[in-house]
Structure 1
Amino acid sequence: MKNVVLARIDDRLLHGQVVVSWIPFIKANEVVIVDNEYAEDEFMWELIKHAAPENIKVNLFDVAGAADYLKGSDDGSRILILSRCVENINELINQDVDIKCVNVGGLGNVKGRERYLNSIHLSSQEIEILKSISKKNIAVEIKMLPNDKTVSVE
């Protein structure tokens, strides 16, 4: 199984805070984007690839492809998973991908979501999924940046 250091839910995916703060903090050298829609969108794939530092390997998969890839042999990579939605991370966990920590970052205010903390908006269903993840002995942390105070989903 590949070494997943952190799974982050952030609807901006690979952006400045991730590149400047999270990747160095967790010493990631690979990013796996998990997004069913973008996996089929060549334009978005090109945009995402160009947002990464040159020394960071980037892959983009749908959920099934990501699960297959992440269950492959450990090649020494330190992987940061990025997804725009809670359900994708939950599905990876349900497919036995070894995720030890889920970080909830920027999630915008869209229909069905309420402001939870700063620029983090969650629906009641997303909160329930995160709570169920935490009951599987997987850390669930809500914070934008590595040095921010961690807020519990509970």
Structure 2
Amino acid sequence: MADIKVARIDFRLIHGQVITKWIKYYPVDMIVVVDDALRNDDFMIEIYKMAVPKGVKFKVVSQEGAAEILEQINASVFLLFKNVEACAKAVESGVKFDFLVVGGVPGEGERQFISDGIYLNKKEFTELENINQTVSEIIFKSIPEETAVTMQKAKEKLR
């Protein structure tokens, strides 16, 4: 079974902050991206593979198949989701982890500011509250060095 060190929601998936900061803060053997659209895009998978640090394995899985695949992985894992909905669906399908960091969620539509680079609407926050029933902690931060925003503080920011 995968040893999930951290799960993260970040619409950019693998990018500079993930590679230069988060992977150093949470060293892992493998990055697993849970994303249905990316799972079916071989070209983009190859692009993301090029960004993964040397010595770190990379896998893209579907939301529904993620739990089963994670059961078969024998490695420390950094788990990535593109958005709150993908994370919620994966958790509903049986994906288990203890710690979730909500990172890059762009400000669009009815989303409200939570922290630098992190915006949520009420539906997304409700989905996170549901996820919070199965995890030890959910925090909001873009980079490891930032002070985390808690679920309670995030709730207070939503009007």
* Shorter-chain TM-score above 0.5: yes
Secondary structure at the counterpart of residue 65 of structure 2: helix
Q: Is the 8 Å Cα contact of residues 7 and 89 (structure 1) preserved in structure 2?
A: no
Rounded to whole Å, the distance in 1 between the matches of 2:47 and 2:10 is: 16
The 5 A counterparts of 1:1-154 are 1-72=1-72, 75=74, 77-154=75-152
Q: Is the 8 Å Cα contact of residues 7 and 100 (structure 2) preserved in structure 1?
A: yes
Equivalent residue letter for 1:140: I
| Moved >6 Å (runs of 4+) | none
Rounded to whole Å, the distance in 1 between the matches of 2:83 and 2:67 is: 15
Q: Give the gaps of 5 or more residues in structure 1.
A: none
Q: Is the 8 Å Cα contact of residues 29 and 56 (structure 1) preserved in structure 2?
A: yes
CA RMSD of aligned residues (A): 1.4
Secondary structure at the counterpart of residue 71 of structure 1: helix
Q: Is the 8 Å Cα contact of residues 14 and 51 (structure 2) preserved in structure 1?
A: yes
- Give the CA deviation at 1:40: 0.7
Q: TM-score, normalised by structure 1?
A: 0.91
Q: Provide, for residues 48-104 of structure 1, a one-character-per-residue CA deviation record: whole Å limited to 9, x for no partner.
A: 1111112110001111222221122x52x1100111111222222223322000100
Identity of aligned residues (%): 29
CA 1:35–1:137 in 2, change beyond 3 Å: closer, same or farther?
closer
Q: TM-score, normalised by structure 2?
A: 0.88
Aligned pair count?
152
CA 1:21–1:84 in 2, change beyond 3 Å: closer, same or farther?
same
Equivalent residue letter for 2:131: I
Rounded to whole Å, the distance in 1 between the matches of 2:14 and 2:138 is: 20
